[in-house]
Amino acid sequence: MRTEAVEGSQSLSAAPGDTRLGPYRLVQQLGEGGMGVVHLALDPHGRAVALKLLRPHIAHDPAARRRLAREVEVLQRIDDPRVAAVIDADLDGPRPYVVTRYIPGPALDTVVREGGPLLGEDLLRFGRGLAGAVDAIHAADVIHRDLKPGNVLLLDGEPVLIDFGIAHLADDIRITMTGLVMGTPGYLSPEVVEGAAVTEATDWWGWAATLAYAASGVPPFGRGPMEVVLSRVRQGEADLTGVDRRLVPLLSAALSPDPRQRPDADEVVAGLERYASGGPATQVVPARAPVPPRHTQVLDQRPTDAWDEPPPVPEPWTEPAVPELFDQWGQPDDGDAGWDAPQEGDPRIGRPNRSGVLVGLLLVLVALTATAPVVAFAALLAWSWVARTSDRSVTSLVLRRHRRGRRRSDVPVAVVAAPWHLVVAALATVASVLLPLLVGLCAVFSAALAMVAVAGGSPQPDAAGPLAVGGLLAALVAWWGPGGASLRRGTRSIVRGVTPGPATARVLALAALLAAVALGWWALSHGLRPEWWPTSGPGSLVPPVLGITG
């Protein structure tokens, strides 16, 4: 919801003098986006308001109306001067609209672009005021989800938070069920980039990133292709070279990819107070070397895998994803200069992680390694190939639609590209299995020696126990190690496809658990000695097939 007064005749277009919508007279257009237009309007008493109006071709879309209704629902819960409050709304008429308080001030990105970074008391005032706004919306059980310079207006130096178009209630699960999480790269927390649940921490990380922009005048994670920016976010590669050196340790810690290493908002504000009084912001947070400024063209950079490095976050079994970048109601702010408005989000974001099913499959793989190691290794290779092929196909389609919008050629292009994805996935599988295999073998021999130290005797690396340990560590390295992001995304896509609902997921998780128990029982009944290749016959791992005997 872009409600600021944009300076310059090129940014404003006057509405016809007799244009009315309900009791409101439209005066000037303030901003527009893919779904709607924001006007400066006058109410019946002549007071200025901001009126957000759905575009005519969108007005009959039930989903657009529901989203507008959601924004009204969210804003009605908040009563704070640092938030642009809703005044009126017509959600059922032929031209749905929402009326909010008009903020006659520029956005933070405009202020910084024209006047330079905020320093000293100005930065403290901004950071403290915006923290108060975030506290206020969280007290109303609302999460903004898109804190960034373009969504913060400055009215007499005080920040006012706007644009709740993608905000949601903290206890509302409908957003996560849609499979879409929207926001702006560079201002989305690493947890959300990884596909974790949206929480209040999402807003606080965006608050810290917005503070870094205010203090430096440049986006803290730079510009460029979405994959590059998201990779910087995940790895904590914030560019703070334009920030006062006294603030660098504090903001660097606040933007850490590990939530456990981030100071809370009160600690950051206290650091800003010390900074404004002329002292160092903190003396306990270790300074990290700032990332050199990026003056080279980044549009041609092609990272090997934007999600390669495993995030040090406490939530396991999450998947990275490509968020939707477009502010549906306003033009991209200066922090997103040079970005084309995407047309599609990533349908994998926000979907259930199916952690129970994944743990069950892990247990099956470990039990199979202890009973039939060769079969387990072949199964891991095959699964990796299929999962990586699935991920490459889906990600290619997501990026295509993100850049160009949904087209009729999407499916034919995906079909033509399928053989290429198969070949690349096979090569990636072979390359990525080497490290897990090495770690697994080392773990097997280490476990065998450890068992000798405890129980005596000679090392038996071919026993079920050491093999199970090796299988477990090899699987974890394959999942979180180099190149594991593609395996994670593809695996979750496949598992979600076969478990469309929570009941199906529970059944599959239980079936996997029972299969693991059955394999463990077989290993116990055979003296914990593995069968290196399954044979038919009495006591074999598999029933007789085509008369083959071992």
Give tens-digit pLDDT for 466-487. Answer: 889 999 999 999 998 888 888 8
Residues 114 and 97 in one domain: no
User: What pLDDT sits at residue 129?
Assistant: 94
d(C-alpha 453, C-alpha 455), whole Å: 6
Residues 94 and 123 in one domain: no
pLDDT band per the 50, 70, 90 thresholds, residue 48: very high
3-state helix, strand, coil in the chain (%, to 5): 45, 10, 45
Average pLDDT over residues 423-451: 90
Determine which one of 18, 43, 79, 146 is catalytic: 146
Is residue 3 over pLDDT 70?
no
Q: Is residue 345 part of a domain?
A: no
Instruction: Look at residues 101, 117, 151 and tell me which one is the last residue of a structural domain.
Output: 101
Residues 246 and 140 in one domain: yes
Q: Is residue 539 part of a domain?
A: no
Residues 186 and 238 in one domain: yes
Query: Residue 72 has which token pair?
Result: 């009204």
Residues 68 and 158 in one domain: no
Pick from 105, 117, 83: which is nearest to 6 by CA?
Answer: 105
Is residue 540 over pLDDT 60?
no
Residues 450 and 497 in one domain: yes
Residues 411 and 302 in one domain: no
Instruction: Look at residues 86, 101, 116 and tell me which one is the last residue of a structural domain.
Output: 101
Residues 377 and 480 in one domain: yes
Average pLDDT over residues 171-197: 59
**Mean pLDDT across the chain:** 76
Global confidence as pTM: 0.51
In percent, the amount of the chain with pLDDT more than 90 equals 23
Q: Is residue 255 part of a domain?
A: yes
Query: Residue 64 has which token pair?
Result: 């657009």
pLDDT digits (tens, 9 = 90+) for 158-174: 999 887 665 544 444 33
pLDDT digits (tens, 9 = 90+) for 278-316: 877 765 444 444 445 443 333 333 333 333 333 333 333
Strand-strand pairing, 152-155 and 13-14: unpaired
Is residue 247 over pLDDT 80?
yes
Strand-strand pairing, 142-143 and 152-155: unpaired
Tell me the three state secondary structure of residue 88: strand
Q: Is residue 532 part of a domain?
A: no
Average pLDDT over residues 232-242: 87
Is residue 505 over pLDDT 60?
yes
Residues 134 and 41 in one domain: no
Q: Is residue 424 part of a domain?
A: yes
Q: Residue 73's domain spans which residues? A: 13-101
Tally of structural domains, the chain: 3
Q: Is residue 444 part of a domain?
A: yes
Phi, psi of 95 (to 5 degrees): -125, 85
Is residue 203 over pLDDT 70?
yes
pLDDT band per the 50, 70, 90 thresholds, residue 329: very low
Residues 283 and 417 in one domain: no
Tell me the three state secondary structure of residue 116: coil
Residues 190 and 234 in one domain: yes
Respond yes or no: is residue 146 known to be catalytic: yes
Is residue 10 over pLDDT 60?
no
Residues 82 and 216 in one domain: no
Is residue 363 over pLDDT 70?
yes
Q: Do 222 and 186 form a contact (C-beta atoms < 8 A)?
A: yes
CATH classification at residue 65: 3.30.200.20
Q: Is residue 488 part of a domain?
A: yes
Q: Is residue 300 part of a domain?
A: yes
More confident residue, 463 or 292: 463
Between the CA atoms of 397, 234, 269 and 144, what dihedral angle is there, to the nearest 10 degrees?
20
